[in-house]
């Protein structure tokens, strides 16, 4: 069985096709998916999906690319995460690629999420793009690490260097690979995936974006996540079942949910 640790099936282009999407998950042995929240106005729909389907989990958070959206407080995040199907805080983090200028608000929002994660013990889903130094620094300053009393979490859709992966793993974080790792141009990222041990790895689609090869350029969905696992298995020269087993176990360990 495979688990998609990060998708956005509440987005309209996917939510209108829900029966088909759930069917494809079943056909491709994708047992669970985590539907990740990107802002507070959409959170009720994310939660509704998790409440409707036993094998869909959800998170609460506000994405760093959403500038014009209600700003969450620590209390908001703590309160909204008090639900057995809300298993994580995020997605949060820093993105200096999509947005430029004075991004102090992004860093402040990121800190709020880390505080909520520490308060609830629910792990973080961290998005970082062209901002790895500040991301790691703020994770340290706010005590995101297990040994600092934090709940750790996952560096999602990982595209950074091995050094960044190692810094996050040293804090107890997992590294999640998306369809990007399957792209021909992603040689450096493939070297990172080769070096990240299966014990610290998750897989994801980040659908509807970033469909893995052979669906590159098409609309992505959770049922495609085995292609990420197969690519990593080939890279490491191991059976895909081994990647499936570890990434599934890791998911249940990190998000502290019953199978
Ligand atoms: Zn993201
Ligand atoms: Zn995402």
β-pair type (56-60, 124-129): unpaired
CA of 38 to the centre of ligand 2 (A): 7
Q: Return the number of other C-beta atoms located less than 10 Å from residue 15's C-beta.
A: 15
Mean pLDDT, to the nearest integer, of 32-57? Answer: 98
Rounded Cα distance, 223 and 149, in Å: 35
CA of 81 to the centre of ligand 2 (A): 18
In the prediction, which pLDDT does 257 show?
A: 87
CA of 213 to the centre of ligand 2 (A): 19
User: For 186, phi and psi rounded to 5 degrees?
Assistant: -95, 45
Mean pLDDT, to the nearest integer, of 228-236? Answer: 98
Mean pLDDT, to the nearest integer, of 8-29? Answer: 97
Tell me if the pTM is above 0.75. Answer: yes
Mean pLDDT, to the nearest integer, of 133-142? Answer: 98
CA of 7 to the centre of ligand 2 (A): 6
In the prediction, which pLDDT does 259 show?
A: 73
CA of 209 to the centre of ligand 2 (A): 9
């Amino acid at each position: 069985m495979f688990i998609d640790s990060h998708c956005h099936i509440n987005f309209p282009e996917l939510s209108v096709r829900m029966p088909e999407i759930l069917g494809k998950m079943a056909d491709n042995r994708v047992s669970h998916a985590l539907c990740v929240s990107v802002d507070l106005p959409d959170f009720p729909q994310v939660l509704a999906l998790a409440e409707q389907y036993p094998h869909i989990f959800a998170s609460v958070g506000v994405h760093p690319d959403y500038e014009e959206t209600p700003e969450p407080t620590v209390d908001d995040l703590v309160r909204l995460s008090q639900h057995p199907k809300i298993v994580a805080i995020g997605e949060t983090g820093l993105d200096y690629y999509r947005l430029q200028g004075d991004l102090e608000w992004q860093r402040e929002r990121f800190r709020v999420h880390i505080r909520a994660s520490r308060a609830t013990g629910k792990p973080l889903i961290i998005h970082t793009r062209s901002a790895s130094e500040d991301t790691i620094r703020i994770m340290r300053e706010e005590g995101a690490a297990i040994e600092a009393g934090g709940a750790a979490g996952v560096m999602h859709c990982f595209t950074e260097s091995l050094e960044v992966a190692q810094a996050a793993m040293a804090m107890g974080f997992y590294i999640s690979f998306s369809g990007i790792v399957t792209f021909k141009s992603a040689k450096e990222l493939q070297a990172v995936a080769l070096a990240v041990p299966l014990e610290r790895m998750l897989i994801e689609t980040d659908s509807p974006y970033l469909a893995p090869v052979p669906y590159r350029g098409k609309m992505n969905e959770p049922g495609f996540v085995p292609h990420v696992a197969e690519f990593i298995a080939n890279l490491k020269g191991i059976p895909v079942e081994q990647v499936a087993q570890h990434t599934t176990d890791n998911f249940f360990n990190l998000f502290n949910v019953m199978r």
